Structure 1
Amino acid sequence: MKSIIADLDLQPDAALTPIRVVLSHTSHPGNIGATARAMKNMGLNQLVLVNPRHFPDDEATSRASGAVDVLEQAQVVDSLQAGLQGATVVAALTSRRRELGPELVDAREAAQRLTVASQRGETVALVFGNETNGLSIDELQQCNLLVTIPTNPHYSSLNLAQAVQVLTYECRMAVNRSLANVEEHHPLASHEAVEQFYQHLEAALIDIGFLNPKHPKRLMPRLRRLFGRKQLEKEEVDILRGIVRAMREGRGSDGLEQ
């Protein structure tokens, strides 16, 4: 089935652009360029660099590969506090749980929270530390959510740009799911409509000889359980009743009109 997101034009990007990616004290310019590419792939464009060792830099431009516009509009600041100015939801990537630190969640849970906040108009920031040492304790204390990426416990090292790609991908997927849920929402069938369907179905099963009303056993309860596993939509009940009506007409019955 064609993805409904393909018909949403730039809505996912519009929902993601408020999310700010902050790189603190990045050592390698190639990682800055690769981060810009990862961001643009997923529809983010706000990049903030806190005291990068080398920037601007030809290697960063080369590694950006089509995302040079993200680099060109990147903001360079001298402290994380400046990079987080105006942000209300700040999530920091870390590989370790910190005592007395902010709540620690995995990347998928964090992305869900961050995108919900951004869609509500909050200013959201994703913070990534230095390639070697990560974020300092002081930097972590400026954040209100810690994020971890579940990895192989025997080899958990992730390149900086890879980590950015994982988190920005999860953010995009979270937005896509929320947009799809809105677009794909259909009214659920009422209790009365579902009960009428069961009555209609039971009459049809008797008509075709599949259900013996003198010895019904537990056929209808089992069918109720079968259909009850999913909340039936109004349109689905209409389809099912159409099928049942055709079954009864095939047996010469006028069907149950309700």
Structure 2
Amino acid sequence: MEKPQLPSCLDNIIVVLSRTSHPANIGSAARAMKTMGLTRLTLVSPHLMATPMTPEPPSFDADHAQDFRLPEESFVLASGARDVLEEARIVASLDEALADTVVSCALTSRKRELTAPMHTPRELAPALLQTAAAGEQVALVFGNETFGLSIEEVQSCNRLMTINGNPHYFSLNLAQAVQVVTYELFSHTDVPMDYLQQAAHLATHEQVAGMVAHLQNVMGELGFFERRNEARLMRRMAALFDRAQVNTEDIDILRGFFKTVSKQVERSQ
């Protein structure tokens, strides 16, 4: 079965990572978003830290934002989403990243001096997809791994989104947060999963009858019918397999098993 096409509205949804510090998190976030059908990534003023794999991270120059190049560590963690990183937009400010958007969701889990209500990704997803389906641009904005979004960055957005979780311990990695939010969006697209199911090849009447006859022979070899009504029992077995709607693979497995049993019977005699 052919894989279904993704809804075109997903092309109007942008994942924005602001002031990300760990190179691996950028790659992991790209992988998470592509898994859910999103490919548009914008990086706002990335300030990468040194890591064992990236001891000398590239520095970001706001005056030459498009000249910034991600280190190989980001691409390694992106796995099959390398294209998302290669086509990522690099900008110096969140206002620049959001310039063409109609709806922008700030992901935050901190108490703030803001009166706007916070919603979960599941609550906001239908409206976000509707906006994207109308051809408008939607942004999902994620802050720095340590400090999150600043109050100014949150105020630049017109929606507040939070991932509900354990109030006594809530600590999501940046890529995990991206995965949760993008999954909730994708779950509202109703993309069918039929392509994941193995095609069933139902067994024919002749194949089922042949398998039942094989079973009857093996049961006879085992002496199963010595004190039982053979004809009545086999009618019930035939009816059982008819109700089960077995496929050809089931038939092959059962007949392989019957052959093994017959060989064991021969050896024991």
For this structure pair, what is the TM-score category when the shorter chain's length is used for normalisation?
0.5 to 0.7
- Secondary structure of 2:112's partner? coil
Q: Does 1:144 align with 2:138?
A: no
Q: Per-residue displacement from partner, 1:162-212 (whole Å, max 9, x unpaired)?
A: 0000000011011227x99xxxxxxxxxxxxxxxxxxxxxxxxxxxxxxxx
In structure 1, the residue matched to 2:76 is: 62
In structure 2, the residue matched to 1:42 is: 36
RMSD after superposition: 1.9
Q: How do 1:182-221 and structure 2 match up within 5 A?
A: none
In structure 2, the residue matched to 1:92 is: 106
In structure 2, the residue matched to 1:29 is: 23
- Secondary structure of 1:66's partner? helix
Q: How do 1:108-257 and structure 2 match up within 5 A?
A: 108-176=122-190
Q: Per-residue displacement from partner, 1:2-56 (whole Å, max 9, x unpaired)?
A: xxxx8772133x2212100000000001000001101110110110000112351
Mapped to 2, the partners of 1:97 and 1:174 lie a distance apart of: 28
Compute the displacement of 1:79 (Å).
Answer: 0.4
In structure 1, the residue matched to 2:9 is: 15
Q: Per-residue displacement from partner, 1:51-104 (whole Å, max 9, x unpaired)?
A: 112351111010000100000000010000111110010001000243334331
- Checking the alignment, whether the CA contact within 8 Å between 1:48 and 1:76 is kept in structure 2 is yes
- Checking the alignment, whether the CA contact within 8 Å between 1:16 and 1:171 is kept in structure 2 is no
Letter in 1 for 2:99: Q
Mapped to 2, the partners of 1:16 and 1:101 lie a distance apart of: 30
- Aligned-pair identity (%): 53
TM-score when normalising by structure 2: 0.61
In structure 2, the residue matched to 1:209 is: none
- Could you say which structure has the larger radius of gyration? 2
In structure 1, the residue matched to 2:264 is: none
- Checking the alignment, whether the CA contact within 8 Å between 2:142 and 2:149 is kept in structure 1 is yes
How many equivalent residue pairs?
A: 173
Structure 2: gaps spanning 5 or more residues: 49-68, 194-269
- Secondary structure of 1:65's partner? helix
TM-score when normalising by structure 1: 0.63
- Checking the alignment, whether the CA contact within 8 Å between 1:47 and 1:74 is kept in structure 2 is yes
Structure 1: gaps spanning 5 or more residues: 1-5, 181-258
